Amino acid sequence: MTEAGGAEHSRVLDLEPPRPGPGQVAVDVAYAGLNFVDVMARRGDAAYTGSWPHHPGKEVAGTVRALGEGVTHLAVGTPVVAATRAGGLAEVALADAALTVPVPAGVPLHVAATAPLGLATTLLLLTDAGRFAPGESVLVHSAGGGVGTAVARLLPHLGGGRLLGTVGRPEKTAAALRNGYHAVHARGTDPAELAARLRADNDGRGIDLVLDPLGTAALALDLDLLAPGGRVVLFGNAGGGAPDPLPPLPRLLGANATLTGFSHSSLLTHAPAKVADAIRRALDLLAAGRLDTPVTVLDGLAAVPAAHDLLAAGRGEGKYVVAPGQPS
């Protein structure tokens, strides 16, 4: 990605394969996950692009190609997944050894590729940040996307609960319902009407946990719907504009609300073991055949800009990965 904008600034280039530095691993990438964070970087959203050119891609699956100095717990040729800080959308990617996890036998690499960012984030949102307890109600905004789909697949393994969602377009409701949501509504209707519908979907009760990647755009709705003691986890800013100030203290006190922030990128730096644990947990569920994660596979890196266009327009469906070595 050479400058802020859209697909017109994305190029597939032949570069020298990167070599791992101390504590790093080079991975021959079989599949790389696409994520909305790459679209935010492409748009040039503040705090998502440090400099240009930007090499996107934050999760990969493949085999260990080379080990950097001091890396002893992995071997060349081992199938692994890795949370890359950038540069995952490539044939060869670098990752910290601490964020590189062997793939258990029986887990296909195109599915494993969704673990380092997508599934790990979803597990951490529900458990660590969201403190989900079995039987609780959960509202997810952007229910039809990669994370939204993963919530529906993971929730039953955490004890199950009532799962409600919103999507940006009415045509996305059917897929989210098929994926396991109990009720899904398109946003854009009158907020009071949307709140009334969601409350009715939860039998008139407050919602225990809201997972919200919409910046502050839906925060008033979230707080209106929240059960006393409920939690709102803010984990994105999909619209990309400047977020509004957070609600005044009396609003939070009156709602008995917990407002939590979540950033996978920040955890990579400040608590990598937490992310690695979540990746292992996701892989274990996949290995046990307990997690059915639908994935759309793109052939070749040249197909990525058009898929990013879909995500940028809010038209993506579920989770996308790319096989970088395949011709488009």
Ligand X SMILES: NC(=O)c1ccc[n+]([C@@H]2O[C@H](COP(=O)([O-])OP(=O)(O)OC[C@H]3O[C@@H](n4cnc5c(N)ncnc54)[C@H](OP(=O)(O)O)[C@@H]3O)[C@@H](O)[C@H]2O)c1
Rounded CA-CA distance 42/150 in Å is: 24
The residue from 255, 257, 311, 323 that contacts ligand X (CB under 6 A) is: 311
Both tokens of 119, joined, read 């599934």
Residue 27 or 295 with smaller CB distance to ligand X = 295
The torsion region of residue 218 among left (phi > 0), alpha (psi -120 to 50) and beta comes to: alpha
Least Å from the CB of residue 133 to ligand X? 22
- Interaction of residue 144 with ligand X, rule CB under 6 A: yes
Least Å from the CB of residue 120 to ligand X? 9
Report the alpha-carbon angle 131-99-154, nearest 5: 35
Stretch that binds ligand X, among 1-9, 17-25, 290-298, 312-320 (CB under 6 A): 312-320
Rounded CA-CA distance 141/168 in Å is: 9
Least Å from the CB of residue 214 to ligand X? 6
Residue of 131, 60, 82 lying closest to 301 (CA atoms): 60
Rounded CA-CA distance 284/55 in Å is: 30
Phi and psi torsions of 228, nearest 5°: -55, 130
- Interaction of residue 235 with ligand X, rule CB under 6 A: yes
Least Å from the CB of residue 283 to ligand X? 18
Least Å from the CB of residue 76 to ligand X? 30
The residues, any chain, with a CB within 8 Å of residue 196's CB and separated by 6 or more, are none
DSSP state at residue 310:
H
Stretch that binds ligand X, among 33-41, 75-83, 84-92, 154-162 (CB under 6 A): 33-41
Residue 71 or 181 with smaller CB distance to ligand X = 181
- Interaction of residue 296 with ligand X, rule CB under 6 A: no
Least Å from the CB of residue 264 to ligand X? 3
The three-state secondary structure class of 237 is: strand
Q: Which residues bind ligand X (CB under 6 A)?
A: 35-37, 121, 141-142, 144-148, 167-168, 172, 213-214, 235-236, 238-239, 262-264, 311-312, 314, 316
